[in-house]
A and B are shown apart, each in its own frame.
Chain A
Amino acid sequence: MSRSSSSLPEESISNKGFVAKTFIAFLVFGALMIVGWSTFKWINMQPQEAGALKPLRKTLDFNEKVFSGIFNANHLVKEYPVSQAVKRVRVNGMDGLRDSVNEASWRLKVVRAAGDTLQLTLNDIKQLPKKDIVFDFKCIEGWDQVTHWGGVPLKTFMEHYHLDKQSKMNYLGLVTPDKGYYVGIDMPSALHPQTLLCYEMNGKPLPVNQGFPLRLIIPVKYGIKHLKRIGTMFFSNNKPADYWAERGYDYYAGH
């Protein structure tokens, strides 16, 4: 160790100077602590915007800009062998599933434009090329589960039904038939190759509590975005309403 780095600078000062220096330092320190505390109090006093304090909601929106900026459709979610998928899949909410549903009368309504709605049966969707995915499903609550799903990639679906103009819009919205649950998805995440319109779990038709007949599986998002029992699909350049984002959660909720 060199001499210069092994000693701290020393100085002789008058008693008066010492008292003044100490006093000023503590004054500035106290003032900064008050500024810090007031900032915290100020944030806490701000009105809420969509269930979150306004400055924090603004930061969540800023985070969305940052992290959707680095989103890369080539970054794939890790897939697992089917044998690793759990048999007892966790059910974490029944919002939007409280009405009864039957396959014969159910239709997927795709709103191509105002007054132009495509109506599809489950069979129509099953005609498209199927993809299976076994991935680590993650909930914002902090738990995760390796689960096995099957369906048609949303990207394939949109190409098949010539939804090219729609796929150039900023967002895709999904709503349950009873309108009790709804999500908005940014288009790059919706068109991610692992995003599925899903009708199978563990190789069998979806159970009712997992969104029979058709749900969204979007591995690049937290569970809150994996809407169960899709009724209507629409496209928009503005953020579609989102159930949990209205209740204080991050709109983007992406990985």
Chain B
Amino acid sequence: MKKIVHKHPLAIRWFHWFNFPVLTCMIWSGLLIYWANDVYKIGWNNKTLIKFFPEDFYKALHIPYHLAEGMSWHFAFMWLFAINGLLYILFTIFSGQWRFLLPNKKSFREAWMVLLHDLHLSKYTPPQLKYNAAQRIAYTAIVIMGIGSLLTGLAIYKPVQFSRIAWLCGGYAAARAEHFILTIGYVLFFLIHIVQVIKTGWNNFQAMITGFEIIKPTVQKASHE
């Protein structure tokens, strides 16, 4: 006999795994578009610290001279990204799953404890239900970022028909920069996410596919990711 806990509903697993390749396609096609006017950099005055992106990076990924191709993919897959994301939000609202996801009053203090714990600076294990406080913040932030990508994207795509959205973004050029920064945010999120999933182990990872996790008699019931 095994004791299992049903952790991720089927719908959430679907939204997660559907989003993954779609967002990958959006980021890739976005790069093809961005290349045509790759003006962003981190630096000051004439000094450039990081240029987005170095020539070698473009060459390795075969980015140059694919603007039209990038736009055709981007403006097709935007529908899948938007619809899947909106369905996810609706599902979390109506299923009550939002209770596991939204940060609460204690979350911000607890998230700090999670960080110290994860960096092995503290032995105290913060309380964990389905998600710990840091996860609640991260997984809520990523949804807000998704909404942000949708809005800044619309502001660039149809700045006249959606002039109010463009205004909210601080104008057309600002919306483009925000759209870009959000994308960098996804990449950083992805890297941290992968490290955390690997660290947390198989039982946690497979739950995103099977939906359930084995409860080991000696270990706390729900683990990290």
Contact = CB atoms under 8 A, between A and B. Distances in A.
Interface of A: 1, 5-15, 18, 21-22, 25-26, 29, 32-33, 36-37, 40, 51-53, 55-57, 59-60, 63, 67, 70-72, 75-78, 136, 138-144, 219-220, 244, 247-250, 254-255
Given A11-B212, A248-B68, 12 more contacts: A5-B96, A8-B5, A10-B6, A11-B5, A12-B2, A18-B214, A21-B210, A22-B210, A26-B209, A29-B17, A59-B79, A60-B75
A140 B130 CA distance: 44
A142 B176 CA distance: 8
Contacts of B211: 25
Interface of B: 1-7, 17, 21, 25, 33-34, 36-37, 39, 67-69, 71-73, 75-76, 79, 96, 99-100, 104, 129-130, 158-161, 163, 172-173, 176, 206, 209-212, 214-215, 221-222
A89 B3 CA distance: 70
B6 A8 contact: yes
A40 B20 CA distance: 13
A40 B21 contact: yes
A87 B85 CA distance: 44
A7 B130 CA distance: 8
Given A25-B211, A248-B68, A1 B75 contact: no
A70 B72 contact: no
A149 to B, nearest CB: 16
A40 B158 contact: no
B2 A13 contact: yes
B75 A250 contact: yes
Contact of A11 (B4, B21, B72, B79): B4
A8 B7 contact: yes
Contact of A10 (B3, B25, B79, B99): B3
B158 A255 contact: yes
B4 A18 contact: yes
Contact of A144 (B3, B69, B173): B173
Contact of B2 (A7, A15, A57, A139): A15
A75 B212 CA distance: 51
Given A13-B2, A248-B69, A75 B222 contact: no
